[in-house]
């Protein structure tokens, strides 16, 4: 019985009040400001729409003024705490969504840069391969020229040796001197 008496007593102390959408700090002299009235929006839930009766709505616990009743005040404080937590979570979610959007944009830009850089890398690799082929061809040509020079030097040394033999066999001093002078210059 004690529990039912307490419930009756509690329900008698809490009487739901219907207020127009005007806040407690509203200046009654300024009636031109209609922005503080609650107008239904498409985002309102069915429950919120049902709670409104001709522009009036039920007062939320966190909107109530401080109470002398400790249980009611405790409920009000919890409602305020819950409302603050909901607002904090909402802000955190919005921040995370904004950050996620920014990261997605940055990721898209990085992917585009990466794709572009892959193209640049492939072009540079083709140029490197072409240069390596050019260097290889040039080295091959240099080896061929080197071989030709060596063959020419060998032929020249053989020719020089033959001319020295011929010069040794000549009796004529003039012809011999001319040949020796030519051999000394080469």
pLDDT digits (tens, 9 = 90+) for 82-122: 999 999 999 999 999 999 999 999 999 999 999 999 999 99
Rounded CA-CA distance 31/40 in Å is 20
Answer whether residue 52 shows pLDDT above 50.
yes
Written as six digits, the tokens of 151 are 């063959």
DSSP code at position 62: G
Mean pLDDT, residues 40-52: 57
Q: What per-residue confidence (pLDDT) applies to 23? A: 47
Residue 3's Cβ-count burial label (10 Å; 0-12, 13-18, 19+) is exposed
Q: Can you give the three-state secondary structure of 111-173, one letter per residue?
A: HHHHHHHHHHHHHHHHHHHHHHHHHHHHHHHHHHHHHHHHHHHHHHHHHHHHHHHHHHHCCCH
Tens digits of per-residue pLDDT, 141-161? 999 999 999 999 998 888 888
Rounded CA-CA distance 103/109 in Å is 10
Banded pLDDT at 21 (limits 50, 70, 90): very low
Answer whether residue 45 shows pLDDT above 70.
no
pTM of the model: 0.42
Of the candidates 67, 86, 52, the residue with the CA atom closest to the CA atom of residue 15: 67
**Long-range Cβ contact pairs of 68-73 (< 8 A, separation 24 or more):** 69/13, 71/10, 72/13, 72/14
Answer whether residue 66 shows pLDDT above 90.
no
Q: What per-residue confidence (pLDDT) applies to 6? A: 53
Please indicate whether residue 178 or residue 127 has the higher confidence score (pLDDT): 127
Other C-beta atoms closer than 10 Å to the C-beta of 20 total 13
Q: What per-residue confidence (pLDDT) applies to 102? A: 96
Written as six digits, the tokens of 168 are 């040794």
DSSP code at position 97: H
Q: What per-residue confidence (pLDDT) applies to 34? A: 42
Q: What per-residue confidence (pLDDT) applies to 60? A: 85
């Amino acid at each position: 019985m004690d529990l039912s008496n307490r419930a009756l007593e509690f329900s008698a102390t809490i009487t739901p009040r219907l207020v127009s959408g005007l806040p407690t700090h509203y200046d009654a002299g300024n009636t031109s400001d209609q922005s503080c009235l609650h107008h239904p929006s498409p985002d309102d839930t069915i429950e919120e729409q049902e709670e409104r009766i001709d522009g009036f709505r039920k007062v939320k616990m966190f909107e109530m003024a401080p109470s002398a009743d400790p249980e009611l005040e405790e409920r009000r404080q919890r409602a305020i705490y819950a409302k603050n937590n909901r607002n904090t979570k909402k802000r955190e979610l919005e921040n995370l969504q904004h950050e996620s959007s920014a990261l997605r944009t940055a990721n898209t830009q990085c992917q585009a840069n990466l794709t572009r850089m892959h193209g640049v890398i492939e072009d540079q690799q083709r140029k490197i391969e072409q240069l390596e082929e050019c260097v290889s061809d040039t080295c091959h040509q240099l080896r061929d020229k080197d071989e030709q020079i060596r063959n020419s030097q060998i032929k020249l040394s053989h020719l020089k040796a033959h001319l020295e033999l011929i010069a040794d066999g000549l009796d004529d001093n003039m012809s011999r001197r001319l040949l020796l002078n030519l051999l000394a210059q080469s």
